[in-house]
Structure 1
């Protein structure tokens, strides 16, 4: 019985020691788990909050883009003003109609290609179609000596189909006399990704590099797109100013606010209603 008493006493002692050692660890583990749950709860809330902020930012971006499109449309429809040679003023005149008087130098034509004909009526008819029937060709850039200003500028006379690229195929449209011309000011542009480099030696241009074009032709780095009224029978078709500003902000607004709503619902379901996943 003495031995049984000692074994019982030792068992109680060992159980006491175990409880003393294990209790703090269990409490620490529980505290750690609770802390992790709190960080997870509020950390995941950042997802819908971020999506909401991005959606709101896109609303502001859309408003800015619509204002810019309206400004460009207003510029294009404004009355032509005399062309200025001041570089600082020209930077503020892009898409602004200007008027000049002079004559072309057809011996130094440049070609920007490939280009398709800018035809608003055709584009409106084909809107939404999967395929387009726009003819491929080039824009003809011709030096133009301005009589009143005493300088030569570059004029985009307009579109010609590929079969009419060579000047001898459209001699009727090569105007020789002095004329009054109206067009919109265009600035130099940088090469976009995947657009080939310009090749001045082969007279193949893919984007407006006014400095390079001016160097080849001996003109000033001033460029205008002739309007549609400049078109003559057999010549390039004027009015090839394409105002293309991407306005996809409404899609982004729907996407970000949709993501905000979906993640907010999931967060509420898990952390407020505590529905097990």
Structure 2
């Protein structure tokens, strides 16, 4: 009798836990859908001026912005990339503006275009206008690989580390992914920002609720066995 009661109590305790996890996943799903809607609105909004460094917040990520300035091509940084166009490099170039310096991810280049001389047409001098999406810095490195500034090996777009390595000052804490506006000569290729949010919360919720149901069924069977 005592063993049966403990089994019933355990089943009901597990059922309550699984139900709580299911409710949590439903709440997470609502949050994720709201995030997707907010980001979609930002991406399709008219471009605005980027925020000053002191006003930057992570929830501004993917805001569409417009900025004007002068590229410092001699301080560009190549960051390894895997894109829909294949493996290659992101070209991050500092843009000197009247409000400081902003790193611009001008886009993708394949290995044969790594040398700036192979894309000299795109090394514009003078003032330029860049439209793109605000992105958060990617500190330290990529998956299982750390940035090595001394060796010039970059696996993530770490704004602070790149600024230090290139002796840049007054640098914004974010970078901008340039849009698909074509560069002279075709490279770098912009507009390759991937905006994808994993949303499997409904599947997880149904899984937790199913386990909750199984535990309740187990408690019911144990209860009935004592009545037999």
Fold conserved between structures, TM > 0.5: yes
Tell me what 1:144 maps to. Answer: 95
Structure holding more strand per residue = 2
TM superposition score normalised by structure 2 = 0.87
CA distance in 2, matches of 1:235, 1:241: 16
Tell me if 1:174 matches 2:123: yes
After TM superposition, give the deviation of residue 157 of structure 1 in Å.
Answer: 0.1
Retained in 2: the 8 A contact 1:182–1:230?
A: no
Match of 2:63 in 1: 96
Q: Which of 25, 38, 41 is residue 71 of structure 1 equivalent to?
A: 38
- Greater radius of gyration (CA): 1
Q: How far apart are 1:246 and its partner, in Å?
A: 2.1
* TM-score scaled by length of structure 1: 0.73
- Aligned twin of 2:208: 256
Residue by residue, what CA displacement relative to the aligned partner does 1:24-53 show, whole Å, maximum 9, x if unpaired? xxxxxxxxxx33432332222212221122
Alignment counterpart, residue 145 of structure 2, candidates 196, 199, 206: 196
List per-residue Cα deviations over 1:53-82 (Å, max 9, x = no partner): 211111111011110111111111111112
CA deviation after TM superposition for structure 1 residue 145, in Å:
1.7
Alignment of 1:1-277 (within 5 A): 34-89=1-56, 91=58, 93-117=60-84, 134-146=85-97, 149=98, 151-191=100-140, 194-217=143-166, 218-222=168-172, 223-229=175-181, 231-272=183-224, 274=226
Number of positions where the alignment pairs a residue of Structure 1 with one of Structure 2? 225
Task: Tell me, yes or no, if the aligned pair for 2:100 and 2:171 is still in contact at 8 Å.
Answer: no
SS of equivalent residue, structure 1 residue 175 = coil
Higher helix share: 1
Alpha carbons 1:109, 1:143 under 8 Å: kept: yes
Runs (5+) with no aligned partner, structure 2: none
